[in-house]
Structure formats: structure tokens, C-alpha cells
Amino acid sequence: MDERAVSFLRLLQIMDELREKCPWDKKQTKESIRHLTIEETYELSDAILKNDHNEIKKELGDILLHIVFYSRIASESNEFTINEVIDSLCEKLIFRHPHIYGDVKAETEEQVKQNWEQLKQKEKGGNKSVLAGVPNSMPALLKAYRIQEKARAVGFDWDQPEQVFDKVKEELLEFEIEIKNKDQENAEKEFGDLLFSLINFARFMGINPEDALEQTNKKFIKRFGHMEKRVKEQGKEISDCKLPELDGYWNEAKNL
């Protein structure tokens, strides 16, 4: 037997035993572990950004556990089994890759993505919006990115990066006008438009805005930590320091 099959069967056996014997595992429902699944996904994302191969391996294992856990819970009430989950995925992958398993030609990544979205529409009967597959609960930044990707897949996109950047400048100007007008409500709307256009430009340039922002978050945390350390070395609290002093420590961190 393939060693991958052996490892997977071992996992299923352990899951069965835990579900039958462990007091905590026996009590869990799909709803009770949902928030843990979200947490594990963020932990995997963090490990990927750190490029920590060992942590990526561990977090992938945690997510795989959750897939097996949900399937085991569902099988107990005859909803579906892990076999059906895997078979359904296999069928979907084959259906959405006709350039591999059929006679469709797709020689570029962009063609593959366009085919993917069109085939998803066929699966749903063609009655739902192209954007219907974007989860409502997805964080707004990621949601904007996925909306734009899906729109591009059906041909609704700019041709040149200069056009997208002009849109960014246009939205910035409109935001500035509302700021000067002191119109809080419209300023918020225009700021949303500005963010959306910036995310669009990032996507157009091959930059994942979520990853880019997270890198900046980490950079800020690191520099702020250095600033706090330097303030403590002076025997002071950060709230007691004037901005020029803090700027000096900040610049030290940047140079480091």
C-alpha cells in the first residue's frame, strides 16, 4: 500500500478512537470547532509569511485534522463521509481542468483562471452572480482582492497599469475634497473607494495586498518594540516622551 494511504488511514483510525474515547472530542460539533478552524488558518498564513517550513508542516497537519474531524462528525448523522469529501474534490478538480483532462487549450495562467471561473458558473447553473462565490464573512481587504480577481476572470478589468494608477489618483483627490468639506460620511465612502482602487492596483502589479500590509504590520511592531526598549533604557515611560525623541528612536530602528 502507498505510504500516503497508510498515513491517512492511520489518521482516520486515530480520529475514530478520539471521537469514541476522548471526553473533549466526543462533545465537539461542527459549530463548536468552527472558530478553531479559522484560528488554524490564520496560524498557517502566519507560518507561510515567515517561510517557516517546520511550522507550515505543523499547521497543515492541524487543518487536515479539522477536515477529518468535520467529516467524522458528519458521518455520524449520515450527512457525508470523508470518502465523499475526497471524491467530490477529485471530480471538481477534473471538471475544472479540461486543459489537462479534456480537449480545451489553456497555455497561460490567465487562460486557466478564466476557464476556472466560467466552469464554476456552469456548476452553479449559470444563474448566480460571478461574485456570488466570495464569502460574506471574508475580511474586507481580502474580499476586495477576490472580487477584483473574479471580475478580471470574465474580462472586466483595465488594460494598462497607468489606467489603474490614474484611478487611484482620482479617488485620492475625491477623498481630499470631502476632507476639506469636513463631510465625514462622504469622506468614509471616498476612503473606501481609495482603498479599493489601491488594492486593484496592487493586484494589477502582482502584489498581494494582504501580504504586503502584514509585512508592514510586522515592520511597525519591530520598530515600535525597539523604540519602547530605548525609552526604558532611559528609565522613562513612552507616554512621557516628546515626539522628536520618539522619532529619533524610530529612525534608529529604521537604520538597524
pLDDT at res. 126: 57
Question: What span, in angstroms and rounded, lies between the C-alpha atoms of 206 and 208?
Answer: 7
pLDDT at res. 15: 97
**DSSP 8-state assignment for residue 51:** T
pLDDT at res. 125: 65
Question: What span, in angstroms and rounded, lies between the C-alpha atoms of 172 and 176?
Answer: 6
Are 150 and 134 within 8 A, CB to CB?
yes
- A 10 A CB-CB count for 34 gives 12
Written as tens digits, the pLDDT of the chain (256 aa) is 789 999 999 999 999 999 999 999 999 999 999 999 999 999 998 899 889 999 999 999 999 999 999 999 999 999 999 999 999 999 999 998 999 998 888 888 888 877 877 777 777 665 578 887 788 888 899 999 999 988 888 888 999 999 999 999 999 999 999 999 999 999 999 999 999 999 999 999 999 999 899 899 999 999 999 999 999 998 989 888 999 999 999 999 999 8
Q: Which amino acid appears at position 19 of this protein?
A: R
**The model's pTM:** 0.68
Q: What is the pLDDT of residues 48-102, one digit of tens each?
A: 988 999 999 999 999 999 999 999 999 999 999 999 999 999 999 999 899 999 8
pLDDT at res. 104: 85
